[in-house]
């Protein structure tokens, strides 16, 4: 489960960037997924693309 501390931190970050929770969450998940995908690429030039 998500702790209260994590929830508060998430809300503070959302407020800092001036967005709503849903759009920030989607951007976070997209960036997280792309980072994981880049780390699994065997050829470094593919990671940059």
Is 45 within the bounds of a domain? yes
Q: Are 14 and 21 in contact (CB under 8 A)?
A: yes
Domain total for the chain? 1
Is 41 within the bounds of a domain? yes
Tokens describing residue 15: 């407020």
Instruction: Look at residue 49 in the predicted model and tell me its pLDDT.
Output: 59
Is 1 within the bounds of a domain? no
> Residue 47 belongs to what domain range?
24-49
Q: State pTM to two decimals.
A: 0.58
Instruction: Look at residue 26 in the predicted model and tell me its pLDDT.
Output: 87
Instruction: Look at residue 47 in the predicted model and tell me its pLDDT.
Output: 65
Distance of CA 30 to the CA centre of its chain: 6
Is 33 within the bounds of a domain? yes
Is 37 within the bounds of a domain? yes
Is 8 within the bounds of a domain? no
**Tens digit of each residue's pLDDT (9 = 90 or more) over 1-49:** 778 888 888 888 888 877 788 888 888 889 889 888 888 877 777 666 5
Identify the helix (H) or strand (E) that includes residue 3: none
Is 18 within the bounds of a domain? no
Is 10 within the bounds of a domain? no
């Amino acid at each position: 489960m998500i702790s209260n501390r994590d929830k508060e931190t998430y809300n503070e970050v959302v407020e800092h960037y001036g967005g709503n929770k849903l759009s920030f969450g989607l951007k976070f998940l997209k960036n997280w997924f792309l980072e994981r995908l880049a780390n699994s690429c065997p050829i470094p030039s593919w990671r940059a693309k």
